[in-house]
């Protein structure tokens, strides 16, 4: 192969690992303000690297929340303009004690790199940055116009991303978005995700007395906030696993026979997958694993706590209990309406002996579905076919990339998820990792795709541009 | 009054407060080994004080757990021998942020002294110690023989107390026990508690997968440990508030009409009590507040946790959830049998998708009930009638003083609870306090009672000595 850009990239692998090591060392945890310094440091590092590679207009874009990092190169008149997306924020490292190596220190073991955020989304983002930078270094130009947007709130529901896109609509305008986030489904099969579920979430608490009470002095006569909380959580599900919340399924369509048959043809071993997780599959009766995960909504308690949780025992009747809850939504569901439905359910089931309080609401996002014949999707399919030798399967994502629906609603453009992370890389759990082999795969894929897009006319994208929605920072119509 | 002992005590009030301030400054939290230094320091302080007051054989008694502090004065031949009991360990201070002043710094506000352990049981214990010490200082002798026992595991179920009593049976032998622990029921009414509930408890956990899983990638297809835990906890109660555990009520007798009518005559305002707690009364249908609290068993979750409990949100499906549970037991219930019943219930209700694990078991104790005409009870009643001007009511305690049943089973002696703490003093919650007025009341009461006991013959106690049970560190027959 005479691709000098790719040769340059593959020769620079040690340098890439050094830079990735620097990037993951900044604890850019957006969920917890005690990591504010880590967020700042990751932003600054990213801006320095983008400048060093020759990109212009390197800047912080803010709409009240965590700033996004932007940069661009727009020297390819007549070629499409591609918005390249990633995120520099990461999940919290807790529980710290379950990590086999420090979460913010890049550690190579076997054929894997371990660190918080290495898979979601620092290595995939950096692969995109370095590949595009290599074009500038080797060829002095890029095949397409590129705008970068790295957000800092992906892990907390992209609360102010919509505001950023509205505020910087002109600066970020593009023909389509190519996302370095949105993991590949699995390592053994080339796939392209054409849909993802939406999400919503909130915290709530119950209170049953002015203070914790002694379990001897008051046991049997006053309510216990943890008993109430347990009853409320249990009430959210029917015994068969179906979500029991009235109105939650409003707008949800049953899968069509076509959808079901497409999913049934995807090679997938439910039992082997469950065994690897040491989990017994559960869920809504009448659906397969893939149907449940890609086409049906879910509702999960992410954290619950109350009373004494330290060592030993403390004989209190807790007066407060707390829960964090999130849901994954499918087309037809409105995130705000779903939050209201769950909350109304909790209110209806809360006994008179407890006070229910609605706490912080997460940023939310509708489900997203990409149009079948979008030119960026077709190009990405060709790239994967060419670089892997196999036609990629079109699959769904059970998780949420809020950016896709927000982009469609604000900039009116579609998103193709083209990350080189893989969904088994424990990216919301301890010992998050990234496969070493994905680095070269990523360089190769981005190089190939950029060259293909350089052959397209921007006009190809016009029929796929959506009418932008009016500015709306809350729900969307 | 020409009582020079009492005059001495009332004149030494500032010195008493200084000593109490020193005593509470040691964070003697038995539930948490990180406080081991505080336990040691409190032990040493207590031993120094007992020696300084002139008591002999000051020693640490240990049977594998936290040591108890012992001391004695046995220079009154022909008088009864009274074992004076208290404890120097305290509840954990958590949640720290709810304290209005530092928990281990004695703080006077209004007519109250605030500190962790000030009410339970450091001030009541110190009142007993100082009163008895004042007899030695002023009169050179005590009216009765006295043995002190201050244990260090009261707040964690007195796990090794039985072992200590068996091991030091001869050294601790006495005619009856007078407890400086076991709070007065309420501030407006002189009472003597003649019964208390037993207790038992354990921790358990559920596990649903090898690790926390991403709520998008796996939402709807794998079990959630917190959902399982909530369902298990909810299953422990019937919707009407009755405990739903099979076999839990084995051996529990319904209250007799006599018991119910005695309780009905006690002035007690359920609504006012509930309002003061900002709680709505709940509990087993068909029983009054006092019946529920004194004559019926209860079951409370003291702490529950799992998943992400930090700031912000983290979209995990938790693979583990944890619960601490304790129960209060009444006569007829065997603590070990009750633990087994609850655990069997949990096993029976645990779905196949979760693994249930039995964790640490608390020390347990049977319920205790004092014989109606015990000479120490009659003397204490006379003391309260004489010092308060009102005949004290005989009442129950919903909480547990394991020492009472353990004393009866090991040393064969009965216990009278004669503490000058009051049950509303938040002793298992933040801002624990002790009324300043209780100090003088305590000096007066202990002084009066000691003098009365000095008039009794040891023979009076013989008919009330129980046959000692065989050594048994676990359950009792």
pLDDT (tens digit per residue) in B366-393: 999 998 899 999 999 999 999 999 999 9
Q: What is the pLDDT of residue B121?
A: 97
Query: Average pLDDT of B321-349?
Result: 97
DSSP state of B184: B
The 10s digit of each residue's pLDDT in B153-168 is 998 878 899 999 999 9
Q: Flag whether pLDDT at A43 surpasses 70.
A: yes
Query: Whole-number mean pLDDT of chain B?
Result: 94
Neighbours of A253 (CB within 10 A): 11
Query: Average pLDDT of A304-321?
Result: 93
pLDDT band at A476 (very low <50, low <70, confident <90, very high): very low
Q: What is the pLDDT of residue B371?
A: 84
Min distance A445 CA to chain B CA atoms (Å): 24
Q: Which of B279, B346, B400, B425 should be substituted to probe chain A, the one whose Cβ sees the most A Cβ atoms within 10 Å?
A: B279
DSSP state of A3: -
Q: Which residues of chain A make contact with B280, given a CB cutoff of 8 A?
A: 208, 223, 352-353
The 10s digit of each residue's pLDDT in A145-197 is 999 999 999 988 788 999 999 999 999 999 999 999 988 988 889 999 999 99
Neighbours of B244 (CB within 10 A): 16
Query: Average pLDDT of A208-223?
Result: 95
Could you tell me which chain B residue has the CA closest to the CA of A320?
B303
pLDDT band at B469 (very low <50, low <70, confident <90, very high): low
Q: Which residues of chain B make contact with A362, given a CB cutoff of 8 A?
A: 313
Q: What is the pLDDT of residue A469?
A: 56
Pairwise CB contact (< 8 Å): B303 & A309: yes
Considering chain A, tell me which residue range(s) the CATH 3.30.70.360 domain(s) occupy.
Answer: 198-252+297-361
Query: Average pLDDT of B245-273?
Result: 94
Q: Which of A16-20, A146-150, A363-367, B207-211 has the lowest mean pLDDT?
A: A363-367
Instruction: Give the helix/strand (H/E) hosting A447.
Output: helix A437-453
Pairwise CB contact (< 8 Å): A304 & B91: no
Structure tokens at A105: 């220190």
A62-67: long-range pairs with CB below 8 Å, 24+:
A62/A160, A62/A164, A63/A160, A63/A161, A63/A162, A63/A163, A63/A164, A63/A166, A63/A167, A64/A160, A64/A163, A65/A152, A65/A153, A65/A159, A65/A160, A65/A163, A66/A30, A66/A39, A66/A151, A66/A152, A66/A153, A66/A160, A67/A43, A67/A152
Structure tokens at A265: 């043809």
**Strand B198-207 to strand B355-361: parallel, antiparallel, or no bridges (unpaired)?**
antiparallel
Could you tell me which chain B residue has the CA closest to the CA of A280?
B353
Min distance B296 CA to chain A CA atoms (Å): 8
Q: Which of B158, B230, B395, B417 should be substituted to probe chain A, the one whose Cβ sees the most A Cβ atoms within 10 Å?
A: B230
Query: How far, in Å, CA of A257 to CA of A186, rounded?
Result: 25
Pairwise CB contact (< 8 Å): A313 & B274: no
Q: What is the pLDDT of residue A379?
A: 98
Pairwise CB contact (< 8 Å): B215 & A31: no
Q: What is the pLDDT of residue B2?
A: 63
Query: Average pLDDT of A432-458?
Result: 97
Structure tokens at A405: 């629906």
Q: What is the pLDDT of residue A337?
A: 97
Query: Average pLDDT of B106-113?
Result: 97
Q: Flag whether pLDDT at A474 surpasses 90.
A: no
Q: What is the pLDDT of residue A403?
A: 86
pLDDT band at B472 (very low <50, low <70, confident <90, very high): very low
Percent of chain B with pLDDT over 70: 97
The 10s digit of each residue's pLDDT in B406-447 is 999 999 999 999 999 998 899 888 999 999 999 999 999 999
Q: What is the pLDDT of residue B470?
A: 52
Considering chain A, tell me which residue range(s) the CATH 3.40.630.10 domain(s) occupy.
Answer: 4-196+367-464
Q: What is the pLDDT of residue A362?
A: 82
Q: Which residues of chain B make contact with A221, given a CB cutoff of 8 A?
A: 281-283, 289, 292-293, 398
**B22-44: burial string, b at 16+ Cβ within 10 Å, e else:** bbbbbbbbbbbeebeebbebbbe
CATH number of B4-196+367-464: 3.40.630.10
What is the SS3 assignment for B195?
strand
Pairwise CB contact (< 8 Å): B426 & A211: yes
Min distance A203 CA to chain B CA atoms (Å): 9
Percent of chain B with pLDDT over 90: 86
Q: Which residues of chain A make contact with B322, given a CB cutoff of 8 A?
A: 309
Could you tell me which chain B residue has the CA closest to the CA of A290?
B221
Higher pLDDT, A477 or A23: A23
Pairwise CB contact (< 8 Å): B220 & A298: yes
Min distance A56 CA to chain B CA atoms (Å): 34
**Strand A112-114 to strand A191-196: parallel, antiparallel, or no bridges (unpaired)?**
unpaired
| Nearest C-alpha neighbor of B117 from the set B58, B181, B160 | B181
Of B199, B298, B303, the CB nearest to A307: B303
At a CB cut-off of 8 Å and minimum separation 6, what does B110 contact? none
Query: Average pLDDT of A375-394?
Result: 96
Q: Which residues of chain A make contact with B103, given a CB cutoff of 8 A?
A: none
Pairwise CB contact (< 8 Å): A303 & B326: no
Pairwise CB contact (< 8 Å): A156 & B313: yes
Query: How far, in Å, CA of B135 to CA of B448, rounded?
Result: 12
Query: How far, in Å, CA of B238 to CA of A201, rounded?
Result: 30
Question: Torsion angle, CA of A16/A19/A20/A26, rounded to 10 degrees?
Answer: 180
Percent of chain A with pLDDT over 70: 97
Min distance B376 CA to chain A CA atoms (Å): 24
pLDDT band at A2 (very low <50, low <70, confident <90, very high): low
Q: Flag whether pLDDT at B363 surpasses 80.
A: no
Of A214, A299, A304, the CB nearest to B399: A214
Pairwise CB contact (< 8 Å): A301 & B211: no
Pairwise CB contact (< 8 Å): B429 & A213: yes
Pairwise CB contact (< 8 Å): A429 & B211: yes
pLDDT band at A464 (very low <50, low <70, confident <90, very high): very high
Query: How far, in Å, CA of A322 to CA of A303, rounded?
Result: 8
Q: Flag whether pLDDT at A67 surpasses 50.
A: yes
Q: What is the pLDDT of residue B402?
A: 81
Query: How far, in Å, CA of B118 to CA of B444, rounded?
Result: 19
Of B223, B224, B234, the CB nearest to A231: B234
Query: Average pLDDT of B202-208?
Result: 98
Considering chain B, tell me which residue range(s) the CATH 3.30.70.360 domain(s) occupy.
Answer: 200-263+289-361
pLDDT band at A471 (very low <50, low <70, confident <90, very high): very low
Q: Which of A83-92, B186-195, B430-439, B451-460 has the lowest mean pLDDT?
A: B186-195
Q: What is the pLDDT of residue A186?
A: 86
Q: Which residues of chain B make contact with A216, given a CB cutoff of 8 A?
A: 196-197, 199, 328, 397-400
Min distance B65 CA to chain A CA atoms (Å): 13
What is the SS3 assignment for B299?
strand
Is residue B167 within 8 A of residue B61, CB to CB? The reply is yes
CATH number of B200-263+289-361: 3.30.70.360
Q: Which residues of chain B make contact with A100, given a CB cutoff of 8 A?
A: none
Cα distance between the two ends of chain B: 50
Q: Respond yes or no on whether the N-terminal peptide bond of residue A95 is cis (omega within 30° of 0).
A: yes
Query: How far, in Å, CA of B63 to CA of B270, rounded?
Result: 43
Query: How far, in Å, CA of B348 to CA of A8, rounded?
Result: 63
Tokens 């932008």 appear where? A468
CATH topology of domain A198-252+297-361: Alpha-Beta Plaits (3.30.70)
Q: What is the pLDDT of residue A473?
A: 41
Q: Flag whether pLDDT at A285 surpasses 90.
A: yes
Question: Torsion angle, CA of B117/B118/B122/B128, rounded to 10 degrees?
Answer: -150
Q: What is the pLDDT of residue A467?
A: 74
Beta bridge partners of A60: A69
The 10s digit of each residue's pLDDT in A341-354 is 999 999 999 999 99
Query: How far, in Å, CA of A418 to CA of A124, rounded?
Result: 9
Neighbours of A186 (CB within 10 A): 15
Query: How far, in Å, CA of B337 to CA of B329, rounded?
Result: 11
Size of interface A-B (CB pairs under 8 A): 361
B470-473: long-range pairs with CB below 8 Å, 24+:
B471/B166, B472/B162, B472/B409, B473/B162, B473/B163
Q: Flag whether pLDDT at B471 surpasses 60.
A: no
């Amino acid at each position: 192969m005479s691709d000098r850009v790719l040769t340059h990239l593959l020769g620079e692998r040690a340098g890439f690992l050094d830079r990735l090591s620097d990037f993951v060392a900044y604890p850019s945890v957006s969920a917890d303000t005690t990591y504010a310094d880590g967020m700042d440091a990751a932003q600054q590092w990213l801006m320095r690297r983008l400048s060093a590679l020759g990109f212009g207009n390197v800047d912080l874009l803010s709409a009240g929340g965590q700033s996004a990092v932007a940069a661009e190169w727009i020297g390819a008149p007549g070629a499409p303009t591609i918005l390249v997306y990633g995120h520099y924020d990461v999940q919290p490292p807790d529980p710290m004690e379950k990590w086999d190596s420090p979460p913010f220190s890049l550690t190579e073991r076997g054929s894997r790199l371990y660190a918080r955020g290495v898979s979601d989304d620092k290595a995939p983002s950096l692969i995109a940055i370095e590949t595009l930078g290599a074009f500038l270094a080797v060829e002095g130009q890029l095949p397409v116009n590129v705008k970068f947007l790295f957000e800092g709130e992906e892990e907390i529901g992209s609360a102010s991303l919509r505001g950023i896109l509205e505020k910087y609509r002109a600066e970020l305008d593009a023909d389509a978005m190519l996302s370095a986030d949105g993991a590949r489904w699995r390592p053994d099969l080339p796939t392209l995700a054409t849909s993802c579920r939406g999400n919503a979430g909130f915290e709530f608490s119950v209170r049953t007395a002015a203070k914790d009470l002694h379990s001897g002095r008051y046991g049997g006569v006053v309510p216990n906030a943890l008993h109430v909380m347990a009853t409320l959580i249990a009430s959210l599900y029917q015994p068969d696993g179906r979500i029991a919340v009235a109105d939650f399924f409003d707008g949800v369509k049953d899968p069509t026979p076509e959808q079901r048959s497409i999913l049934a043809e995807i090679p997938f071993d439910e039992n082997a997958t469950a065994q690897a997780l040491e989990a017994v599959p559960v869920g809504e009766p009448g659906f397969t694993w893939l149907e449940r995960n890609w086409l049906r909504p879910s509702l999960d308690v992410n954290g619950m706590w109350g009373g004494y949780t330290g060592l030993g025992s403390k004989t209190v009747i807790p007066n407060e209990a707390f829960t964090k809850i999130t849901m994954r939504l499918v087309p037809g569901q409105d995130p705000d309406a779903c939050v209201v439905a769950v909350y109304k359910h909790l209110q209806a089931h809360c006994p008179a002996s407890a006070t229910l309080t609605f706490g912080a609401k997460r940023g939310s996002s509708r489900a997203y579905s990409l149009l079948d014949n979008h030119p960026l999707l077709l190009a990405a399919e060709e790239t994967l076919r060419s670089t892997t030798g196999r036609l990629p399967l079109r699959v769904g994502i059970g998780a949420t990339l809020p950016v896709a629906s927000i982009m469609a609603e604000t900039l009116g453009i579609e998103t193709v998820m083209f990350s080189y992370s893989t969904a088994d890389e424990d990216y919301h759990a301890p010992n998050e990792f990234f496969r070493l082999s994905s680095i070269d795969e990523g360089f190769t894929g981005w190089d190939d795709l950029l060259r293909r897009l350089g052959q397209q006319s921007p006009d190809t994208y016009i029929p796929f541009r959506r009418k932008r929605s009016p500015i709306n920072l809350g729900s969307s119509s």
